[in-house]
Amino acid sequence: MKDAAPQTIYLSDYQPFGFIVDSVHLTFRLAPTATRVISRIAFRPNPAAQSRDFFLHGEQLSLIDAKLDGAAVSPELTPTGLRLDVPDAPFVFETEVEISPETNTALEGLYMSNGMYCTQCEAEGFRKITYYPDRPDVMSVFTVRIEGDLPVLLSNGNPVAQGDGWAEWHDPWPKPAYLFALVGGELLNHPDTFTTKSGKPVELNIWVRPGDEDKCAFGMEALKKSMKWDEDVYGREYDLDIFNIVAVDDFNMGAMENKGLNIFNSSCVLASPDTSTDMNFERIEAIIAHEYFHNWTGNRITCRDWFQLCLKEGLTVFRDSQFTADMRSAPVKRISDVIQLRARQFREDNGPLAHPVRPESFVEINNFYTATVYEKGAELIGMLKTLVGDEAYENALNLYFDRHDGDAATIEDWLQVFEDATGRDLSQFKRWYSQAGTPRLSVSEEYADGTYTLTFRQSTPPTPSQPVKDPRVIPIAVGLLNPNGDEVVPTTVLEMTEAEQSFAFDGLAVRPVPSILRGFSAPVILQRDTTNEERAFLLAHDTDPFNKWESGRALARDGLLHMIRDSAAPDMAYLEALTAVVRDDAQDPAFRALAMGLPSQDDLAQALVDLGEIPDPQAIWQALETLRQATAQHMQDLLPRIYAQYQVDAPFQPDAEQSGARALANAALALLSRLDGGAQAQKQYDAADNMTQQLAAFGCLLSAGKGQAATKAFYERWKHDRLVIDKWFTMQIVQADPDQAADVTAALTQHPDFTMKNPNRFRATLGALAMSPAGFHHASGKGYALLADWLIQLDPLNPQTTARMCSAFETWRRYDADRQALIATQLDRILEIDTLSRDTREMVERIRK
Ligand code: PHE
Ligand code: ZN
């Protein structure tokens, strides 16, 4: 069936639903193509609502039967739901519908994955299960009976009763329908228990397909750590007798926080040293924490409407970052988060898809689960905390939980809590939620008579439908160093509120060196002219680990831009300064590995745009290659020492310490491979007893053009393991020569293991191409054509994943006229399809504008 004509939804149109839902009883009779869903819902008029329009959402449902207070009725059916005349008094509405999970390839609603039934309801998937007011401000208590010839039948809340082929669940906490979940399958569990701080025992399970049992232990430890951390740091206890996690292979996103029954993309929970890299382990720990933390920030306090998505997502990302910082290294976590923020959110904020952290309109809400809502949303919480201080933040959060527990809340509620807890006026801060775009913050300095003055100017380029921006509150953390390296002014937070503003520091005997935007205290682009010497000085002496790293990064970027624009040689100041950091064993190996990283191709492209130039993806790639080669040569004496010294002999642990050592050794290996043609990498590949070592070596071999044997061997070794084979697909593409990346990708789409029905595999292949700018933006246009071909094929099956991957094209206006024309052709080809999904159409239209 074709989607109904797309409608734009506006924040300003919000109206409460006309009815309150007192209880929901659901019965599921599971069958692959003919599942019956029987609902009994108790409604009563909502005194707070204006309208009494009884409209229930429902899509792709076959209505079998409907009853009002026990009497048969015939509701009016529309393409998006049903409507009925109802009494102005409490009533019970019952329906029976039929749905077909097996043919549901969109992975939204009730669907099947490898013989297992599972659901995904956020944001608006529940309406594909039964008729319901599918909006987050309608909360109710659910009782669920599942009938099916399967050993494991799960839903939200606590188990009530079960027998052969059936189970009943009751969730005492009122929740919106998007948090509903159901699972049925032949699953095995990895069980454990947790006792909350008030002494309540909780049964914990991770449910997986047979064969995956040995990949659950790490996730379980992460879950217990998360539960403890939320008690210790936020005072939040778990509130049911049982907490279940289920791993599913076919999933559009990372994971989902359904009440008491989190459902995870198997790539975000299954872990073992053999098959997962250090980065996988860290990410799994963070995602488990994220979903668990949603129990309070998302579930107990949910969102009034989908415009408030950042209320739960920004806060929960912020909380999971705090957790990772506590479990591992805080500076390393901060640096990694900023790298991600720049790669994904700045890119979005500076292109046609830019939107406020709290958008004001949308066509398809699934298109707004973005880096802006999540990552910039988290940055806003971090800024608030910086502005009010740690203690006030804690008070405000306690007030938030006290005041809004059980509510479907708004950003206004959230800010009000901070205003009440601190007495501050946050009306200007609110602009961060309503204005899209990344502010540019430029700085000038003056020193006279012992007074040092920093003058800042902020401005934000126009974004779609927001031509003019008002100044925002920007917390700028600054420290000052003496030329001998001593810190003369420790970190101080300057609160900028004007478009242009100066801050003076007195009593300074010599002109200091400023360290500005410490800890990346605001998500802005800092523009400051300075010298190589000063950047190298800060890389060596800054006491703020983020800015220490940032100085090295800026040095690298300036040098690369110089190489790209003026065909300059690699910058010696950078090579010297980096070598000093890498050599210094007193510094954290993880930090040194991060310092060895270079700005991404995308970062450099945006930097060139900011300089008024048209980026050439090939030239950017070439400059990075040249710099890496020069770095390898410059460090040729040091690299073997670093490589050898940071080998880990102890049994594999995916902790911060070991993974830091491996990251540094593997960064050294990548450079060494440029000198020895991959000899050392081959040795490491052959000897590797964990995926971190094996995959790093595989990458080096491919990049050295010596990957043929390893490509075969890797496949043979891992063909039974879908998550490892995803890595195999990706690595061949990201390490391919840019001239061949599209051809390598095209060939891999013909591999028997390629399937577009599995989003992980699709992303591992086409997503990998999109992440390789020089290959994707190949001047021939073959990368564009290939991606468009596959998006067109995927759209009828899975609109959500298709739409999300359209963002590969979002940077197109940066490029030259030829590339723009090639991309426009592909975008238009997609738009010409009249059965195109609403999801994909909205994305492509926004990009094409
Ligand atoms: N709410 C999920 C999370 O952030 C993400 C998600 C959104 C998953 C929509 C599925 C569908 O943890
Ligand atoms: Zn989330």
CA distances from 418 to 44, 301, 393, 414 (A): 34, 16, 8, 7
Grouping H, G, I as helix, E, B as strand and the rest as coil, residue 531 is coil
For residue 327, the model assigns a pLDDT of 98
**Ligand closest to the CA atom of residue 370:** 1
Ligand 1: distance of its center to the CA of 253 in Å? 6
Residue of minimum CA distance from atom 5 in ligand 1: 256
Closest to 386 in 3D by CA, of 488, 474, 489: 474
Q: Which ligand 1 atom is nearest residue 298's CA? A: 1
pTM of the predicted model, to two decimals?
A: 0.98
Let me know: does 647 contact 641? Beta carbons within 8 Å: no
State the amino acid at position 745 in one-letter form: T
What phi and psi values does residue 116 have, to the nearest 5 degrees? -105, 140
- Mind giving me the DSSP string for 405-435? TT-EE-HHHHHHHHHHHH----TTTTHHHH-
For residue 260, the model assigns a pLDDT of 99
**Ligand closest to the CA atom of residue 178:** 1
Within 10 Å of residue 487's Cβ, how many Cβ atoms?
A: 16
Ligand 1: distance of its center to the CA of 364 in Å? 15
With a cut of 50, list the residues of the chain below it in pLDDT: 1-3
Q: Which ligand 1 atom is nearest residue 257's CA? A: 12
583-641 pLDDT per residue, tens: 999 999 999 999 999 999 999 999 999 999 999 999 999 999 999 999 999 999 999 99
Q: What is the rounded distance in angstroms from the CA atom of residue 801 to the CA atom of residue 808?
A: 12
From the CB of 120, is ligand 1 less than 6 Å away? yes
128-181 pLDDT per residue, tens: 999 999 999 999 999 999 999 999 999 999 999 999 999 999 999 999 999 999
For residue 759, the model assigns a pLDDT of 98
For residue 4, the model assigns a pLDDT of 53
For residue 3, the model assigns a pLDDT of 47
Residue of minimum CA distance from atom 8 in ligand 1: 256
Ligand 1: distance of its center to the CA of 804 in Å? 13
The answer, yes or no, to whether the previous bond of 123 is cis (omega within 30 of 0) is yes
Ligand 2: distance of its center to the CA of 293 in Å? 9
Angle at 774 between CA 768 and CA 779, to 5 degrees: 120
Q: What is the rounded distance in angstroms from the CA atom of residue 848 to the CA atom of residue 809?
A: 9
Residue of minimum CA distance from atom 1 in ligand 1: 256
In a mutational test of the pocket of ligand 1, which residue from 107, 121, 122 has the highest number of ligand atoms less than 8 Å from its CB? 122
From the CB of 255, is ligand 1 less than 6 Å away? yes
From the CB of 118, is ligand 1 less than 6 Å away? no
From the CB of 122, is ligand 1 less than 6 Å away? yes
Pairing of strands 302-303, 408-409: parallel
* Residues surrounding ion ligand 2 at CB below 5 Å: 313, 316
Ligand 1: distance of its center to the CA of 789 in Å? 27
Residue of minimum CA distance from atom 2 in ligand 1: 256
From the CB of 375, is ligand 1 less than 6 Å away? no
Closest to 287 in 3D by CA, of 302, 307, 267: 267
For residue 6, the model assigns a pLDDT of 81
Angle at 490 between CA 485 and CA 491, to 5 degrees: 120
Q: What is the rounded distance in angstroms from the CA atom of residue 67 to the CA atom of residue 65?
A: 7
H helices, E strands: number in the chain: 30, 31
Within 10 Å of residue 362's Cβ, how many Cβ atoms?
A: 18
Let me know: does 263 contact 120? Beta carbons within 8 Å: yes
Closest to 479 in 3D by CA, of 456, 497, 505: 505
Q: H-type helices in 341-464, by residue range?
A: 347-349, 371, 377-388, 390-404, 411-422, 431-434
From the CB of 839, is ligand 1 less than 6 Å away? no
Residue of minimum CA distance from atom 3 in ligand 1: 256
For residue 819, the model assigns a pLDDT of 98
In a mutational test of the pocket of ligand 1, which residue from 124, 257, 321, 800 has the highest number of ligand atoms less than 8 Å from its CB? 257
Can you give the length of the chain in residues?
Answer: 849
Ligand 1: distance of its center to the CA of 78 in Å? 28
Let me know: does 263 contact 181? Beta carbons within 8 Å: yes
Give 470: exposed, middle or buried? Use CB within 10 Å, 0-12, 13-18, 19+: exposed
Q: What is the rounded distance in angstroms from the CA atom of residue 314 to the CA atom of residue 813?
A: 29
In a mutational test of the pocket of ligand 1, which residue from 107, 256, 317 has the highest number of ligand atoms less than 8 Å from its CB? 256
Q: Which element (helix H / strand E) includes 556?
A: helix 545-566
State the amino acid at position 667 in one-letter form: A
Across the strands, what pairs with 91? 43
Residue of minimum CA distance from atom 11 in ligand 1: 122
Grouping H, G, I as helix, E, B as strand and the rest as coil, residue 493 is strand
Ligand 1: distance of its center to the CA of 254 in Å? 7
Handedness of CA 638, 640, 644, 646 (dihedral sign): positive
Residue of minimum CA distance from atom 9 in ligand 1: 122
Closest to 275 in 3D by CA, of 205, 214, 224: 214
In a mutational test of the pocket of ligand 1, which residue from 128, 369, 800 has the highest number of ligand atoms less than 8 Å from its CB? 369
- Mind giving me the DSSP string for 512-529? PEEEESGGG-SS-EEE--
Q: What is the rounded distance in angstroms from the CA atom of residue 714 to the CA atom of residue 694?
A: 9
**Ligand closest to the CA atom of residue 287:** 1
Closest to 75 in 3D by CA, of 98, 100, 49, 57: 57
Helix crossing, 601-610 with 617-634: angle to 10°? Answer: 120
From the CB of 256, is ligand 1 less than 6 Å away? yes
Which tokens hold the place of 212? Answer: 């995956």
From the CB of 312, is ligand 1 less than 6 Å away? no
Q: What is the rounded distance in angstroms from the CA atom of residue 375 to the CA atom of residue 384?
A: 14
Ligand 2: distance of its center to the CA of 294 in Å? 7
Measured in whole angstroms, the distance separating CA 775 from the mean position of its chain's CA atoms is 24
For residue 1, the model assigns a pLDDT of 41
State the amino acid at position 408 in one-letter form: A
Measured in whole angstroms, the distance separating CA 239 from the mean position of its chain's CA atoms is 26
Q: Which ligand 1 atom is nearest residue 125's CA? A: 11
CA distances from 123 to 23, 25, 174, 271 (A): 21, 21, 17, 28
For residue 13, the model assigns a pLDDT of 98
Let me know: does 334 contact 325? Beta carbons within 8 Å: yes
227-264 pLDDT per residue, tens: 999 999 999 999 999 999 999 999 999 999 999 999 99
Catalytic residues: 291
